[in-house]
């Protein structure tokens, strides 16, 4: 209970509070709804008495006109209040999603690595929708139906207080039923949201790996898996809706019992001349109209539980606490020649496990020169690269650039000096121009074309129908591997950073293209501090310094000739690469 109250306070403070004036306006119109609904029930009293019993011809048009006006006021007021709250709900939904996206975009790489992207997408959509429903629907219904119920109860008591006392017994009974169902709907909603996450993850993987599915002829397997995910989601959604609808038979039964009791008792009152026919019909109309707000208020607890369940999954994302601080108030990196120093670095992706990715790593990477990291897959080379721009922070040891500990400088100033070209080229579903401008949004057309020229990208760009304005598809799927890699190199050229990190940057290139790209890389890295994860012999031979990494440790270092003479590990590695080429 305390947790739920804290969540409601948080939602009000951070989101609802800014729309309080609109909410108050919606509440005002909900009072009009309540008043007009009560007026409709009350007007049946004079309508029956004056028109049908007394046959008063002077009111035969006025009372129906008043009823029409009451219905119109109710309809217009209900429309306006709902439109206002729809807007508030959409605004709040956008605010929450913006905060979630801001938190995710700024979050540590390690946080993103720990969860599937489908989890985040599901929470951005399904969970936020439930949260929106809590504000735009549940909040409006709380006021609208409460005021309407108060108004109709007033009409009922005005007509006959004895009948009213019997009728209001239904309200606590309905509330008790809703309280029981609320706990069950909260559990069912959580299961539904978790299943929706699983399905979203499956959907993303189908789109991401569609070529793999086809080449291994796994369509039937994936159809079966996705079908099972959909069936699971279907069953959970049915369960949620069924639990939600359990309120209906209970309410219908309670209403039927109430009407039966009221008919028996009112018959007695009418026989004893304690209740007029006109009063009874007005009372009955008020009670029947009160059924809807009672039912809505009874179900309100269910909607609130759904919204709170969603909030418990959404707010932790908004509240992400990064382990890697941006250090915005720290001094900027005073870049000189770009010398990088690793001192006794220990790093583990998962500190709960015993296996370390890196152990006691000591590196001295000279500024303005090329240093290669070689070794078998999984030895820790990519991890070393990831520590330089602080995608991750080591558990022990220090990393310095130009004798400045990188944890003690402004993070933006650090990353400003670093470019990364990876074997896993990442491009956006946008134009070539915008993909290049991602590195330098204010770059001129001349700078753009020079980067394309120097990276040899211009060769295929000019052959495309829309040149630089060509949409390249999701992650550049309309480009070949070599073309994507050249765009990635051009992007790094445009940024013109002083430190270049190359993670097997030529692995996706064919032999015809490789020579040109090697030239482009030489232009990119000239007089710059360059750290290369190298598998190609040409890359290794051109390096000023080579570190041999094995099982997360530095086992040897030196230039090519020195390592061939003194390092058995390097010699074996070199021989394998020689055989490959």
- pLDDT score of 309: 81
Tell me, letter by letter, the H, E, C secondary structure of 347-368: ECCCCCCCCCCEEEEEEEECCC
- pLDDT score of 559: 85
Distance CA 71, CA 549 (A): 80
Residues 46 and 59: beta-carbon distance below 8 Å: yes
Distance CA 422, CA 505 (A): 5
Question: Angle formed by the axes of helices 140-159 and 277-318, to 10°?
Answer: 160
Residues 332 and 410: beta-carbon distance below 8 Å: yes
Distance CA 450, CA 76 (A): 62
CATH architecture, domain 326-417+537-581 = 3-Layer(aba) Sandwich (3.40)
Strand 499-503 versus strand 529-533 pairing type? parallel
Whether domain 92-318 has CATH 3.40.930.10: the reply is no
pLDDT in tens, 265-290: 777 777 777 777 777 777 777 777 77
Task: Assess whether pLDDT exceeds 80 at residue 385.
Answer: yes
- pLDDT score of 504: 66
pLDDT in tens, 137-178: 777 777 888 888 888 788 878 877 777 777 777 667 666 666
Distance CA 458, CA 475 (A): 19
pLDDT in tens, 416-438: 898 888 877 778 878 888 888 88
Backbone angles phi, psi at 391, to 5 degrees: -65, -35
Q: 351: pLDDT confidence band, cut at 50, 70 and 90? A: low
User: pLDDT averaged over the chain?
Assistant: 80
DSSP string, 390-424: TSS--SEEEEEETTEEGGGS-HHHHHHTEEEEESS
Strand, helix or coil for residue 68: helix
pTM: 0.74
Distance CA 178, CA 298 (A): 5
Distance CA 22, CA 580 (A): 70
Rounded mean pLDDT of 241-256?
A: 70
Tell me, letter by letter, the H, E, C secondary structure of 527-573: CCEEEEECCCHHHHHCCCEEEEEECCEEEEEECHHHHHHHCHHHHHH
Task: Assess whether pLDDT exceeds 70 at residue 508.
Answer: no
Distance CA 240, CA 133 (A): 15
Rounded mean pLDDT of 336-364?
A: 83
SS3 content of the chain, % helix, strand, coil (to 5): 65, 10, 25
Q: Which residues contact 328 (CB under 8 A, 6 or more apart)?
A: 410, 411, 412
Q: What angle do CA 172, 175, 176 make, to 5 degrees?
A: 90
Tell me, letter by letter, the H, E, C secondary structure of 239-286: HHHHHHHCHHHHHHHHHHHHHHHHHHHHHHHHHCCCCCHHHHHHHHHH
Residues 155 and 42: beta-carbon distance below 8 Å: yes
Residues 521 and 408: beta-carbon distance below 8 Å: no
DSSP state of 474: G
Neighbouring-strand partners of residue 500 = 419, 530
Strand, helix or coil for residue 326: coil
In this predicted model, which residue has the larger pLDDT, 413 or 120?
413
- pLDDT score of 398: 92
- pLDDT score of 1: 61
Distance CA 151, CA 304 (A): 24
Distance CA 160, CA 151 (A): 14
Q: 485: pLDDT confidence band, cut at 50, 70 and 90? A: confident
Task: Assess whether pLDDT exceeds 80 at residue 98.
Answer: yes
DSSP state of 160: -
Domain ranges of the chain: 92-318, 326-417+537-581
Q: Which residue, 147, 146, 166, is CA-closest to 156? A: 166
Distance CA 490, CA 140 (A): 54
Spell out the long-range contacts of 215-221 with Cβ–Cβ below 8 A and sequence spacing 24 or more: none
Distance CA 12, CA 16 (A): 5
Backbone angles phi, psi at 363, to 5 degrees: -135, 140
Task: Assess whether pLDDT exceeds 80 at residue 465.
Answer: yes
Q: Mean pLDDT lowest for which of 70-84, 383-397, 518-532?
A: 518-532
Distance CA 33, CA 151 (A): 10
- pLDDT score of 174: 64
- pLDDT score of 503: 81
Q: Which residue, 407, 353, 391, is CA-closest to 399? A: 407
Neighbouring-strand partners of residue 398 = 343
> pLDDT over 90 for what percent of the chain?
4
Q: Which residues contact 537 (CB under 8 A, 6 or more apart)?
A: 574, 577, 578, 581
Neighbours of 8 (CB within 10 A): 16
């Amino acid at each position: 209970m305390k947790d739920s109250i804290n969540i409601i306070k948080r939602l009000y403070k951070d989101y609802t509070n800014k729309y309080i004036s609109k909410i108050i306006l919606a509440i005002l119109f909900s009072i009009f709804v309540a008043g007009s609904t009560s007026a409709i029930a009350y007007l049946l009293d004079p309508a029956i008495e004056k028109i049908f019993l007394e046959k008063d011809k002077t009111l035969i048009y006025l009372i129906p006109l008043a009823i029409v006006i009451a219905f119109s006021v109710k309809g217009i007021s209900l429309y306006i209040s709902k439109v206002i709250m729809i807007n508030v709900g959409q605004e709040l939904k956008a605010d929450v999603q913006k905060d979630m996206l801001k938190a995710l975009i700024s979050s540590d790489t390690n946080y993103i690595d720990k969860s599937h992207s489908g989890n985040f997408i599901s929470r951005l959509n399904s969970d936020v929708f439930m949260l929106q429903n809590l504000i735009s629907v549940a909040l409006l219904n709380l006021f609208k139906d409460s005021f309407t119920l108060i108004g109709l109860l007033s009409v009922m008591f005005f007509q006959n207080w004895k009948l009213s006392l019997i009728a209001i017994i239904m309200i606590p009974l309905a509330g008790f039923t809703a309280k029981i169902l609320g706990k069950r709907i909260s559990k069912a909603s959580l299961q539904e949201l978790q299943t929706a996450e699983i399905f979203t993850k499956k959907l993303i993987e189908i789109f991401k790996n569609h070529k793999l599915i086809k080449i291994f002829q796994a369509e039937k397997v994936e159809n079966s898996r996705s079908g099972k995910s959909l069936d699971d989601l279907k069953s959970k959604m049915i369960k949620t809706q069924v639990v939600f609808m359990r309120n209906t038979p209970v309410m219908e039964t309670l209403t039927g019992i109430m009407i039966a009791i009221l008919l028996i008792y009112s018959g007695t009152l009418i026989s004893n001349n304690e209740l007029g026919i006109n009063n009874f019909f007005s009372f009955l109309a008020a009670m029947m109209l009160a059924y809807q707000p009672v039912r809505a208020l009874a179900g309100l607890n269910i909607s609130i539980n759904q919204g709170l369940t969603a909030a418990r999954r959404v707010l932790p994302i908004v509240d992400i606490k990064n382990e890697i601080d941006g250090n915005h108030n720290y001094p900027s990196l005073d870049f000189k020649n770009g010398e990088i120093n690793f001192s006794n670095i220990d790093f583990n992706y998962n500190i709960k496990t015993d296996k370390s990715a890196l152990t006691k790593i000591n590196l001295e990477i000279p500024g303005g020169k090329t240093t290669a990291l070689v070794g078998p897959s999984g030895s820790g080379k990519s991890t070393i690269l990831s520590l330089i721009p602080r995608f991750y922070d080591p558990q022990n040891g220090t990393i310095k650039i130009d004798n400045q500990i990188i944890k003690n400088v402004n993070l933006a100033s650090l990353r400003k000096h670093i470019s990364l070209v990876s074997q896993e080229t990442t491009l956006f579903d946008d134009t070539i121009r915008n993909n290049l401008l991602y590195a330098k949004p204010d770059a001129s057309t001349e700078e753009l074309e020079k980067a394309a020229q120097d990276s040899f990208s211009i060769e295929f760009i000019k052959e495309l129908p829309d040149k630089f304005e060509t949409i390249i598809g999701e992650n550049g799927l309309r480009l070949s591997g070599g073309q994507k890699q050249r765009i990635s190199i051009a992007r790094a050229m445009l940024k013109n950073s002083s430190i270049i990190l190359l993670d097997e940057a030529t692995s996706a290139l064919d032999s015809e293209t490789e020579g040109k790209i090697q030239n482009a890389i030489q232009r990119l890295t000239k007089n710059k501090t360059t750290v290369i994860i190298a598998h190609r012999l040409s890359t290794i031979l051109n390096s000023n310094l080579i570190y041999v990494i094995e099982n997360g440790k530095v086992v040897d270092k030196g230039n090519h000739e020195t390592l061939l003479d003194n390092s058995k590990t390097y010699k074996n590695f070199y021989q394998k690469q020689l055989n490959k080429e």
